[in-house]
Amino acid sequence: MKAKIQTSNVLTKPNYKQKRMIYEYREKIKKKTEQTVKEKLDTDKWPDWWGAKGTKNRFQDAMLNLNNAPLKFLISKNNKEPKIMLLGTGQGLDIFKYKSEFAKHNIVPSFDVFSLHKELAEEVNANKLVNKDYSLGLPFEQINPKIESHSELILNTKGKYDLVMAQMSVGKYTEHLSTTLFNAALLLKKGGKAYIQIEIDPRDFKTEQSKVKLNRASKTWVIFNRLVEWINKTENKKYVFKIKTSTQANLNENDWLEITRIS
Ligand SMILES: C[S@@+](CC[C@H](N)C(=O)[O-])C[C@H]1O[C@@H](n2cnc3c(N)ncnc32)[C@H](O)[C@@H]1O
């Protein structure tokens, strides 16, 4: 079966099998992810040479990778005061750059962040660059509306953002990309966009080079679509999202997905 790249969702009633699948999937996440993420992401142990921890240069890296798509998007919307969520921002020093570069276009965003832990650099906190740090010591893909302690986070963040950025973070360090994409999609306002850097090669979505990889990619879309169907049904919503892989020529392992909330 060919993987769908652009996907829209129609309101359908999840059947018993689908509900069961979502339940089992969430249970699996609980067990596996915490362990994986903890092992990979103890930021205190990162060596100094490791640059991808939210240092200032990371802004340019993202914009270069994305051919300035996030900035162009905000300019095209004439959105002068966008709300931005940075997922897995690490130290958050790149926010200085976001601010200064966006200011050149008279764009004055407000930033919220969600990382595994509260790990913003002192300089970032001292300069009050971040409106709210929602980090809870919780992997992003484990956010679950059914857990009471998560509900405040969901209430405050769902459908609130014009732009969501996840550079080398929640889309990479996860065994559950579909849930990550789903949770990121839910943060968006109507018309908003999320840019999520992923680990798997986006070419897997387009070719049949590897059956295993292709299965993994198409499974990602199937589960994503089911999660959207599920929330549409349970919350009586009509969410529609479109997901695009990068259009860059130099696709590589660390490429990006763009999610647009259509409705
Ligand atoms: C390698 S650092 C990248 C920091 C910054 N975005 C950059 O590109 O320089 C990974 C960041 O993602 C966060 N992170 C990784 N996986 C995560 C997950 N599953 N849920 C929440 N945060 C996660 C970590 O807490 C950390 O802030």
CATH code where residue 164 lies: 3.40.50.150
Q: Whose CA is nearest to atom 11 of ligand 1?
A: 88
Rounded Cα distance between 92 and 71, Å, is 18
pLDDT digits (tens, 9 = 90+) for 143-153: 987 788 888 89
**Would you place residue 250 in the very low, low, confident or very high pLDDT band (cuts 50, 70, 90)?**
very low
pLDDT digits (tens, 9 = 90+) for 8-41: 444 455 677 766 777 776 677 666 655 555 544 4
- Distance (angstroms) between ligand 1 centre and the Cα of 170 equals 6
Q: Is the CB of 153 under 6 A from ligand 1?
A: no
Question: Looking at the 3D structure of the chain, how many domains does it have?
Answer: 1
Q: Counting atoms of ligand 1 from 1, which one is nearest the CA of 117? A: 25
Q: Which of 167-176, 178-187, 201-210, 212-221 has the lowest mean pLDDT?
A: 201-210
Cα–Cα nearest to 214, from 222, 225, 224, 205: 205
Q: Is 234 inside any structural domain?
A: yes
Q: Is 28 inside any structural domain?
A: yes
Cα–Cα nearest to 115, from 46, 201, 53, 185: 53
Q: Which domain holds residue 33?
A: 16-39+52-261
Q: Is 5 inside any structural domain?
A: no
Task: Give the pLDDT mean for 88-102.
Answer: 95
Q: Is 110 inside any structural domain?
A: yes
Q: Whose CA is nearest to atom 27 of ligand 1?
A: 90
Q: Is 134 inside any structural domain?
A: yes
- Residue 170, pLDDT score: 94
pLDDT digits (tens, 9 = 90+) for 217-245: 678 888 999 999 999 999 999 999 998 87
Residue that the structure tokens 């309101």 belong to: 11
Q: Is 251 inside any structural domain?
A: yes
State the CB neighbour count (10 A cutoff) for residue 110: 13
State the CB neighbour count (10 A cutoff) for residue 143: 22
**Would you place residue 199 in the very low, low, confident or very high pLDDT band (cuts 50, 70, 90)?**
confident
Q: Is the CB of 173 under 6 A from ligand 1?
A: yes
Q: Whose CA is nearest to atom 19 of ligand 1?
A: 139
Q: Is 218 inside any structural domain?
A: yes
Does the pLDDT value for residue 102 go beyond 80?
yes
Rounded Cα distance between 60 and 40, Å, is 25
Rounded Cα distance between 103 and 217, Å, is 38
Q: Is 1 inside any structural domain?
A: no
